[in-house]
């Protein structure tokens, strides 16, 4: 690992041309103003921060609500054994060979171990991300929970709550939201569950679950996605008496559109397509959904006390004596505990830090009317972004329009506008390139006159002698 660390530094030194800081520093009330504040220090935040520094924008800081090492889902609520992404996919390395997952894995475990590897474990992925952050010396402030975004004196004012409970104000010219899957809304639990059951009888797949306490219990799982199967498998491995997984679809999804999307054409240029074509792409992708990986499916099926039920949506729940009774079109099912894998809701108003902005942000339903029979309430709820991942106003005359332009949405909710990006390993490098180019462009153009004056004032002589040496 020490050899690899040295190689990373040597590689970056070889390509360090034009990466020195070029921005003009700013202060406000005696406090230095950040050029970019990155919210989230998981894989998307790390890649963004590194990408900005590669463009000579180093007055940057990441902020994450988790303690160091706990950023992202990998050692918290992710319950898969390995990543769902093939091992050859790269991301936070941004094309630097010594920074790739393969280089890290081989340095840690050996080249043969990499050849024998199927997919990277989630624990190793977290360790890899920690290493990337450390070897690149990326700035991060942990245990900073973003409470609010405001616009003051042509700067974004960010309010954080720190681990001590105190509130801290930070000003920035630009903000990148790299808050992952749920960054555009909240995890979703159907109201017929949350309103009819006590809180200790159900949990979303994203929640902290005491699986040891579910030993010898009957577990009902709702959902067809990989996370539903991951949680079912975890419950089975913890000794659940029985696990029944129910899904609305008539069959479990089998085609993974992500594998098709992993080509440079789609990953680079999807956002350049006309609205109608982007809409049709997304309707197709969302209709296919993402199936559980084969190994995840077999992880459940190897247990005789596991069953899945297609065409079995839950239509109601209630407590009866000490049991959870679930109503389905095929009859009633009885459980001790429910695990709900119903994904997330795209609704910025559900995010406290975005509540101020939500009424002003243009959504797809505000900007695009699909043809008859091609409607989608879900897609219409996503933010309609500009070419640099920036929010756009519903009304161009909105006084908050400049603030929206300064906030770049690198979360999963960027997908209909920008394609796979910050919340996807396979698209990260392509998304970061577009994002950081756009941010750098805005910063340079805003200070164009100052850069011109810098050139006018430049007087470093290169020709210092008219006489030949000797």
Q: Is residue 394 part of a domain?
A: yes
Residues 231 and 163 in one domain: no
Which residue segment(s) compose the domain that 213 sits in? 189-254+291-342
- 344 confidence band (pLDDT: 50, 70, 90): very high
Question: Which residues lie across from 253 on neighbouring strands?
Answer: none
Q: Is residue 385 part of a domain?
A: yes
Q: Examine the pLDDT at 212 and tell me if it is beyond 90.
A: yes
Task: For 332-342, write each residue's pLDDT tens digit.
Answer: 999 999 999 99
Identify the residue whose tokens are 């919340």.
Answer: 423
Task: For 237-290, write each residue's pLDDT tens digit.
Answer: 999 999 999 999 998 888 888 889 989 999 999 999 999 999 999 999 988 877
Q: What is the CATH number of the domain that holds 398?
A: 3.50.50.60
CB 288 within 8 A of CB 223: no
- What share of the chain has pLDDT > 70, as a percent? 100
Residues 170 and 298 in one domain: no
Q: What is the 3-state secondary structure (H, E, C) of 323-339?
A: EEEEEECCEEEEECEEE
Q: Is residue 136 part of a domain?
A: yes
- Interacting residues of 259 by C-beta distance below 8 A, sequence separation 6+: none
Residues 172 and 214 in one domain: no
Question: Which residues lie across from 204 on neighbouring strands?
Answer: 340
For residue 119, what is the DSSP state? Answer: S
Phi-psi region of 137 (alpha: psi -120 to 50; beta: other; left: phi over 0): left
Q: Is residue 263 part of a domain?
A: no
Residues 417 and 380 in one domain: yes
Phi, psi of 79 (to 5 degrees): -125, 15
> For the chain, how many structural domains are there in total?
2
Domain boundary among 318, 342, 366: 342
Residues 26 and 173 in one domain: yes
Note the pTM of the prediction, 2 decimals: 0.95
Residues 211 and 299 in one domain: yes
Rounded mean pLDDT of 67-80?
91
Q: Is residue 467 part of a domain?
A: no
Q: Is residue 416 part of a domain?
A: yes
**Nearest-angstrom CA–CA distance, 445 and 174:** 14
- 470 confidence band (pLDDT: 50, 70, 90): confident
Q: How far is CA 74 from the centre of its chain?
A: 12
Beta strands 155-162 and 344-346, pairing class: unpaired
Residues 69 and 143 in one domain: yes
- What share of the chain has pLDDT > 90, as a percent? 88
Give the model's pLDDT for residue 200: 97
Task: For 1-55, write each residue's pLDDT tens digit.
Answer: 999 999 999 999 999 999 999 999 999 988 999 999 999 999 999 999 999 999 9
Q: How many residues does the chain have?
A: 470
Domain boundary among 342, 367, 383: 342
Residues 153 and 40 in one domain: yes
Residues 220 and 158 in one domain: no
Domain boundary among 311, 342, 373: 342
Residues 307 and 217 in one domain: yes
Residues 41 and 147 in one domain: yes
Q: Examine the pLDDT at 98 and tell me if it is beyond 90.
A: yes
- Furthest CA-CA distance within the chain: 102
- Cα angle at 359 between 357 and 361, to 5 degrees? 65
Residues 58 and 154 in one domain: yes
Quick one: CA dihedral 55, 181, 139, 103, positive or negative? negative
Q: Is residue 413 part of a domain?
A: yes
């Amino acid at each position: 690992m020490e050899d690899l660390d040295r190689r990373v530094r040597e590689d970056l030194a070889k390509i360090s041309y034009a990466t020195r800081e070029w921005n003009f520093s700013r202060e406000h009330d005696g406090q230095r103003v950040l050029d970019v504040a990155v919210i989230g220090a998981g894989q998307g935040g790390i890649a963004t921060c590194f990408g900005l520094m590669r463009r000579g924008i180093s007055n940057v800081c990441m902020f994450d609500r988790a303690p160091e090492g706990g950023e992202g889902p990998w050692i918290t609520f992710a319950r898969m054994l390995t990543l769902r992404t093939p091992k050859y996919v790269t991301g936070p390395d941004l094309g630097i060979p010594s920074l790739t997952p393969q280089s890290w894995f081989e340095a840690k475990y050996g080249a043969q171990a990499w050849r024998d590897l199927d997919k990277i474990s989630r624990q190793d992925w977290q360790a890899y991300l920690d290493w990337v952050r450390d070897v690149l010396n990326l700035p991060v402030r942990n245990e900073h929970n973003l409470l609010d975004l405001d616009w003051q004196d042509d700067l974004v004012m960010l309010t954080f709550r720190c681990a001590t409970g105190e509130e801290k104000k930070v000003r920035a010219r630009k903000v990148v939201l790299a808050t992952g899957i749920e960054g555009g809304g909240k995890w979703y639990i159907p109201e017929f569950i949350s309103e009819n059951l006590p809180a200790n009888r159900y949990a979303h797949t994203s929640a902290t679950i005491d699986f040891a306490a579910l030993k010898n219990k009957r577990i009902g799982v709702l959902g067809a996605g990989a996370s539903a199967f991951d949680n079912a498998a975890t419950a089975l491995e913890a000794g659940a008496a029985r696990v029944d997984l129910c899904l609305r679809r008539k069959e479990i999804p089998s085609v993974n559109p992500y594998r098709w999307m992993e080509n440079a054409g789609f990953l680079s240029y999807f956002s350049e397509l006309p609205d109608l074509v982007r809409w049709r792409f997304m309707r197709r992708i969302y209709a296919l959904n993402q199936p559980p990986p084969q190994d995840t499916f077999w992880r459940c099926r190897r247990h005789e006390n596991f069953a899945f039920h297609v065409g079995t949506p839950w239509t109601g729940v209630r407590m009866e004596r000490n049991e959870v009774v679930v109503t389905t079109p095929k009859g009633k099912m009885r459980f001790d505990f429910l695990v709900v894998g119903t994904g997330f809701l795209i609704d910025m108003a559900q995010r406290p830090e975005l509540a101020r902005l939500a009424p002003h942000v243009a959504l797809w339903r505000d900007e695009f009317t699909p043809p008859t029979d091609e409607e989608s309430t879900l897609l219409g709820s996503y933010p309609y972004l500009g070419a640099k991942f920036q929010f756009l106003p519903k009304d161009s005359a909105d006084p908050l329009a400049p603030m929206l332009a300064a906030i770049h949405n690198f979360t999963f909710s960027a997908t209909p506008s920008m394609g796979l990006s910050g919340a996807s390993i396979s698209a990260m490098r392509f998304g970061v390139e577009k994002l950081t180019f756009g941010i750098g462009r805005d910063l340079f153009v805003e200070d164009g006159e100052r850069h011109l004056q810098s050139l006018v004032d430049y007087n470093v002589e290169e020709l210092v002698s008219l006489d030949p040496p000797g």
